[in-house]
């Protein structure tokens, strides 16, 4: 695994992501600066981490999505390269056109910082192969704009192509509006690109990888990526 | 040249901020308010030969950055 973590002004979760990647893969990821026009040589995984790029000015992720490095990320994704986009990273990926839709203000207008239950919708992807479809995992969220919205046609297409990777559910894995805290359409917490090589999600799997801080439900996502890259 | 770009949410897109403002107006006793939708205004000064050129530059600005065409509409007004 040769991971590159993108760094924009205002991003603040790049170190947690680096720590998780190092812990699970044993390899130190490289930080890639937003103003660069190329990804570090040999990059096989691009990670867009969480934070508040450009202070969330204009729209969350809007300005970062137009940074120079994003042209290289789009080219990487177009060739089938893996991209993991978490939280603000998911917002950036949507604004950059790597994924459809947009993340709007949480329906209850509150910043959410809590642990949520997520149902893994499919296990045949580079990001989820170490889980089983239907598994319910506990992972924290921390966002003010995580309410996934897209037009009806896009939602129907995502659902029809099984590109919803994760949904917010009750602890037993059942869909329940009471557990869809941010009001996302169809309780969507994470979606995949057409070729399944880009995953965007609001929750933070990198927070739950080390028993020293509690559950390790996020670990298998990173193990899945390692397995995928080793098999390639 | 001075211009204004107005960005608004498309019809049908839920606007929780607008809803909250609507509720606040009602609680302040501002009557007859049926609905509130929040948007953005950008006042822009630019160099452009004529009005048509300015409009085309502002259209580019709106579509490349100021508006997210998935959820928003925009319109351009040349002020002076």
Number of domains chain A contains: 1
Alpha helices in chain A (DSSP H): 14-25, 69-78, 88-95, 152-160, 219-231
- Spell out the alpha helix ranges (H) of chain B: 16-27, 51-61
Cα–Cα distance measured from residue B19 to residue B8, given in angstroms and rounded to the nearest whole number: 14
Spatial CB neighbours of A42, under 8 Å, sequence gap ≥ 6 = A2
Q: Looking at this predicted complex, what is its ipTM? A: 0.86
Find the CATH number of the domain harbouring A141: 3.40.50.880
Q: What was the pLDDT predicted at B40?
A: 97
- Tell which residue, A185, A139, A68, A25, has the closest CA to residue B12: A185
Residue partners of A137: CB distance under 8 A and separation at least 6: A117, A118, A120, A131, A217, A218
Distance in angstroms (rounded) separating the CA atoms of residues B45 and B54 = 10
Q: What is the pLDDT of residue B50?
A: 92
Res B14: pLDDT: 84
Taking the C-alpha atoms of residue A43 and residue A76, their distance in angstroms, rounded to an integer, is 9
Long-range pairs, B35-43, Cβ under 8 A, ≥24: B37/B8, B37/B9, B38/B9, B39/B6, B39/B7, B39/B8, B39/B9, B40/B6, B40/B7, B40/B66, B41/B4, B41/B5, B41/B6, B41/B7, B42/B4, B42/B5, B42/B6, B42/B7, B42/B66, B43/B2, B43/B3, B43/B4, B43/B79
- Residues in chain B whose Cβ is within 8 Å of chain A: 13-14, 16-17, 20, 64-66, 68, 70-71
* pLDDT tens for each residue of chain A, 232 residues long: 999 999 999 999 999 999 999 999 999 999 999 999 999 999 999 999 999 999 999 999 999 999 999 999 999 999 999 999 999 999 999 999 999 999 999 998 899 999 999 999 999 999 999 999 999 999 999 999 999 999 999 999 999 999 999 999 999 999 999 999 999 999 999 999 999 999 999 999 999 999 998 999 999 999 999 999 999 8
pLDDT digits (tens, 9 = 90+) for B59-80: 999 999 999 999 999 999 999 8
Asked whether A194 and A210 are in contact (CB, 8 A), the reply is no
Choose the mutation target among B70, B72, B74 for the interface with A, i.e. most A CBs under 10 Å.
B70
Best probe of the B interface among A105, A110, A180, A183, by most B CBs < 10 A, is A105
- pLDDT for B49: 87
Contact at CB, A104 and B14, closer than 8 angstroms: yes
> What pLDDT, on a 0 to 100 scale, did the predictor assign at position B12?
86
Structural domain of residue A226, as residue ranges?
A: 3-231
pLDDT per residue as tens digits for the range B1-54: 999 999 999 998 888 889 999 999 999 999 899 999 999 999 999 998 899 999
Q: How far apart are the first and last CA of chain B?
A: 6
- Within 13 Å and on the Cβ side, how many CA atoms surround A60? 25
Classify residue A155 as left (phi > 0), alpha (psi -120 to 50) or beta: alpha
Q: Decide if A206 is catalytic.
A: yes
* CB neighbours of residue A79 within 10 Å: 9
Q: Do B17 and A105 touch (CB under 8 A)?
A: yes
**Domain residue spans of chain B:** 2-78
> What is the CATH class of B2-78?
alpha beta
Q: Say whether A76 is catalytic.
A: no
């Amino acid at each position: 695994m040769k991971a590159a973590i993108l760094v924009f002004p205002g991003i603040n979760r790049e170190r947690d992501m680096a720590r998780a990647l190092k812990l699970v893969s044993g390899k130190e990821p490289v930080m890639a600066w937003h103003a660069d026009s190329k990804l570090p040589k040999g990059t096989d995984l691009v990670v867009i981490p969480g934070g508040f790029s450009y202070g969330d000015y204009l729209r969350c992720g809007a300005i970062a999505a137009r940074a120079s490095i994003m042209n290289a990320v789009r080219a990487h994704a177009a060739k089938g390269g893996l991209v993991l986009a978490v939280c603000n990273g998911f917002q950036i990926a949507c604004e950059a056109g790597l994924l459809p839709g947009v993340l709007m203000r949480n329906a209850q207008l509150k910043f959410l910082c809590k642990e949520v239950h997520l149902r893994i919708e499919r296990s045949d992807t580079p990001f989820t192969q170490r889980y089983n479809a239907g598994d319910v995992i506990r992972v924290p969220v921390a966002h003010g704009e995580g309410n996934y919205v897209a037009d009806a046609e896009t939602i129907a297409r995502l659902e029809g192509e099984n590109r919803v990777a994760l949904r917010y559910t009750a602890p037993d894995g059942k869909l329940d509006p009471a557990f869809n805290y941010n009001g996302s359409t169809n309780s969507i917490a994470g979606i995949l690109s057409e070729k399944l090589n880009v995953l965007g999600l609001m929750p933070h799997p990198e927070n739950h990888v080390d028993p020293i801080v509690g559950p390790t439900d996020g670990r298998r996502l990173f193990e899945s990526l390692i397995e995928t890259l080793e098999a390639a | 040249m001075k211009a204004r770009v107005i960005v608004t949410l498309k019809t049908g897109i839920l606007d929780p901020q607008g809803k909250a403002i609507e509720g606040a107006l009602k609680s302040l006793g501002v009557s007859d308010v049926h609905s509130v939708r929040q948007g953005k205004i950008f006042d822009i000064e630019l160099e452009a030969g004529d009005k048509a050129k300015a409009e085309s530059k502002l259209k580019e600005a709106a579509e490349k950055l100021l508006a997210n065409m998935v959820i928003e509409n925009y319109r351009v007004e040349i002020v002076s």
